[in-house]
Structure 1
Amino acid sequence: MNEADIPMTIARALNLIRETGSVSEAARSLNVSQPAISKGISQLERRFGMPLLQRGARPLNLTDEGQIVADYAERAGLLQKQVLQNLDEAANNRSGTVRLGSFGSSASFQILPRTLAAFARRYPGISVEILEFPDGELKQVLEDGIVDMAVMTVPQEDGLDVIPVTTDKLVAIMGTGHPLARRSGVSAAEMAEYPFVLTKGGSGPMVERWFAAEGKMPKTVHTILQVNSIVALVEAGLGVSIIAELALPENSGNYRVLPLRPEAPRSIGFVRKEKSARSASVERFWQFCLRFDY
């Protein structure tokens, strides 16, 4: 025992003596011998150089210093009760938080609403907090522990657990009156001829890689985060753009969607560090996603 420790059995005994006025009653409640309790109290008194019991009184009373030790036992008991309650709530899915990274519109529009709604119906006590980051940053965010797991473009790397959800691809969009609008598909060379609206969202780096693979560079005139804003600029004839197909809002009829030549597919899924779960709630959400019908 560390010299600074206060034996919890003795602290509890003092709390019981405060309630009952009897060392023997305290010993009986704790299933400890009366001499052991008396010896423990005497040792504490010698250590601190002050009495903890008013021994001349019947029933026994505590000194002010004895009250301090008894209060310590009482607070420890309340804390233990709260800890046990919190653990019980976590074990029975009545509390907990999951920090879920998301790469933006594709996940927010198509994947997360139905998944999170179904999870909330089954586990209403567990909250899921969505934190959005560019797709290229999500792996580092996972490594840093800022999020517990992420819905993202699946990286081709070891050390990660992956739940495949769907496949997606990049598509070109332009106003209905644009010279490219009647094509059956568009190339990087064709898209590079016109003012370009680049997405700052999750698919932005993928768009740039698609152009670079064909030896082209877009004539970027606007760099926009929100998909709806990109579509509005395209509909206004202020440029063409490339975004993820799953991120497309409902087509208003004022813009055209064309496939890319060559195609630019990607796999989307839930990703976490291999066999990593910060809490029972996080593991519960992972297992739910693993079994969910997408």
Structure 2
Amino acid sequence: MASVDIPLSVARALALVRSLGSVSEAARILGVSQPAVSKGIAQLEHNLGTQLLRRGNRPLGLTEEGVAVADYAHRADLLHDQLLARLEDARSNRTGTVRLGSFGSSASFQILPRTLSDFARACPGIRVEILEFPDEELEEALEDGIVDLAIMSLTDAETLEIASVASDRLVGLVSDGHPLAGRERVTPEEMAGYPFILTKGGSGPLVERWFAAADVSPKVTHTILQVNSILALVEAGLGISIIAEMALPKSEGRYRVLNLSPEAPRSFGFVRRQGTARSYAAEQFWRFCCRHPID
């Protein structure tokens, strides 16, 4: 059978006929004339090539095909009500999912647990999904709409809105027995003389710029994403490294944390593309971030 449009108004009329046994009563409840309902049913019967009413019976009844069309109206009305309920839940901040991009350990370990815990109490029905990327890929994910918003090192991108800014800095890492372990501050030239473990996390580009500003290059022997893996290699004396101070675990290890000279500060915050949020859930999370500064 070719595609046939089934007007919901006619399907609803058939549903009323099934329960009331009368086209006139169905028309009265729908607020239309009895001839209009009869014409609509007759036209649908013609388009479908089958009878929908059992016209020889009193009270009036439906054929099996008529019952199927009436059931269609019932299901359509249920779906309509469910859709309105979901939209109302979203509008009232009760449900939804936010896709949050993160630049790595600093955010995941130190910032997001407190923020997400507070947000969960404020909007318990909204789920926040965290997706981790290196900084350069995170900005692309934000621009491409893969994430709704992100916490990342701040850039000069004019297309981004920024909320809840905080500061951090880079620090050097050496093992307890390393020749630099007794130094309070280390320079790029000093660190460039030893095997170096380069982080692939969010602070990686900033580390490279710190060396480049002094016109020296580190002797990169390992490139690693996970902070715990970097610390393990440093503790084993397999290299030195630089990471964000906020990414350091709270428990002490067999390594020394050194200040950098010159210092390498960085700023980060929650960002999103300019314009309307993709969902009420994303908008609520953004507003929460704007109202609650990063500690």
TM-score higher than 0.5: yes
Contact 1:164/1:267 (<8 A) preserved: no
Structure 1, unpaired ranges of 5+: none
1:126-275 to 2 correspondence within 5 Å? 126-252=126-252, 254-275=254-275
Q: CA RMSD in A?
A: 1.5
SS in 2 for 1:220: strand
2:66 is equivalent to residue 71 of structure 1: no
Q: Give the Cα separation in 2 of the matches to 1:141 and 1:111.
A: 20
Q: Give the Cα separation in 2 of the matches to 1:47 and 1:251.
A: 75
Contact 1:100/1:149 (<8 A) preserved: yes
Q: Give the Cα separation in 1 of the matches to 2:253 and 2:41.
A: 85
SS in 2 for 1:168: strand
CA displacement at 1:17 relative to structure 2: 0.7
After superposition, give the CA deviation of every residue in 1:142-166 in whole Å (9 maximum; x if it has no partner): 0111100000001111011001331
Q: Give the Cα separation in 1 of the matches to 2:53 and 2:250.
A: 78
126-135 or 229-238, which deviates more: 229-238
Q: Given residue 73 of structure 1, which amino acid in structure 2 is its aligned partner? A: A
Q: How many residues matched?
A: 292
Structure 2, unpaired ranges of 5+: none
40-49 or 97-106, which deviates more: 40-49
1:1-40 to 2 correspondence within 5 Å? 4-40=4-40
Q: Given residue 277 of structure 2, which amino acid in structure 1 is its aligned partner? A: A
Corresponding residue number in structure 2 for 1:283: 283
* Structure 2 length-normalised TM: 0.95
After superposition, give the CA deviation of every residue in 1:219-270 in whole Å (9 maximum; x if it has no partner): 1122222112211211221111000111011252522111211221111100
After superposition, give the CA deviation of every residue in 1:48-78 in whole Å (9 maximum; x if it has no partner): 3332111110111112222222122111111
Q: Give the Cα separation in 2 of the matches to 1:257 and 1:53.
A: 84
2:50 is equivalent to residue 86 of structure 1: no
CA displacement at 1:15 relative to structure 2: 0.9
Q: Given residue 204 of structure 2, which amino acid in structure 1 is its aligned partner? A: G
Corresponding residue number in structure 2 for 1:96: 96
* Structure 1 length-normalised TM: 0.95
CA displacement at 1:47 relative to structure 2: 2.6
Q: Give the Cα separation in 2 of the matches to 1:238 and 1:47.
A: 79
Q: Give the Cα separation in 2 of the matches to 1:250 and 1:238.
A: 22
